[in-house]
Chain A
Amino acid sequence: MKKYNSTEAPPAPMVEVKGSNPYLRVSEKARAKLDTGASMSVIPQDWVERLRLMPLGVIDVSGFDEEWREVRTYMVDLAFDGFRFDWVEVIASRRDNVLIGRDILNHLKITLDGKNLTLNIEDP
């Protein structure tokens, strides 16, 4: 069991994530929010430069206001909590943390106990 991150208001289920360039093997670490609302995972924009990522494609993305915009996609390896997901197609956004979306969450069994502010991640 892990505790929710209490520096978020309200507290949020977060993990430490390591993102790597799958080809060059450079890596960065950041906190990541588990976000079941996101259909794909999102990395901080500055990781694109730090990890020397190559753009791979484009995708139309809508935010909470349902405004669509076109963004570039990148491939990264993401690892957290003993789990590793290689060659994940992500988008980048102006943010400090990573969003782990359903593209990854749907491979795991995640229990969110909001009452006790704990989470558990398994791959049964």
Chain B
Amino acid sequence: MVKTTIDIPDWLWKKFSMLVIQGKGYRKKKAVIEDLIKDYVERNGTLPSQVVDRFEAERDAFQNMRRELLSDRKYRGKFVAVLNGSVVDFDADKVALVKRTYEKYGYAPIYVDKVDQERRRAEIPSPELRRN
């Protein structure tokens, strides 16, 4: 185990404390912080950093192009594959697009998204109890 100390603004700590008490009254602040760190590490640490960096760069490129893509009838409502900052292919069928892109460019971090106004959403509502 490692002990660490961090400096954060008073207002932030107070607000965090209030939220923990209100939202997860049965949990301690320490447990919430530990969960946040675990979650961060597992979401970001299981992929090599160069993969994450490239993926995020392709994603940024998509965000920057989004308005332009939306205004183009060729892309609107379709999936696009972004690689090296550009759209390299598009298709109404996402799986066909992904297969084709990997086939052509290799198994690299491409970013694939639908050219749409709405963000994609999913629900995974099943709570599970952890028993010790």
Partner-B contacts on A (CB < 8 A)? 9, 23-24, 33, 35, 37-40, 42, 45-46, 48-49, 54-64, 68, 71-72, 75, 87, 89, 91-95, 99, 101
Contacts and interface: CB of A to CB of B under 8 A. Distances in A.
Given A40-B124, A55-B51, A87-B99, A49 B46 contact: yes
A91 B120 CA distance: 13
Given A59-B122, A71-B43, 16 more contacts: A35-B124, A38-B122, A38-B126, A49-B46, A49-B47, A54-B108, A57-B113, A59-B119, A59-B120, A63-B124, A63-B125, A64-B125, A87-B99, A89-B94, A92-B46, A94-B39
B90 interface: no
Interface of B: 38-39, 42-43, 46-47, 51-52, 55, 59, 94-95, 98-99, 102, 107-113, 119-128, 131
Contact of A57 (B43, B99, B111, B125): B111
30 contacts: A35-B126, A37-B125, A38-B122, A38-B123, A38-B126, A39-B122, A39-B123, A42-B124, A45-B43, A45-B46, A54-B51, A55-B51, A57-B112, A58-B113, A58-B120, A59-B121, A60-B119, A61-B121, A61-B122, A61-B124, A64-B126, A64-B127, A68-B121, A71-B43, A72-B43, A75-B95, A91-B124, A94-B39, A95-B128, A99-B124
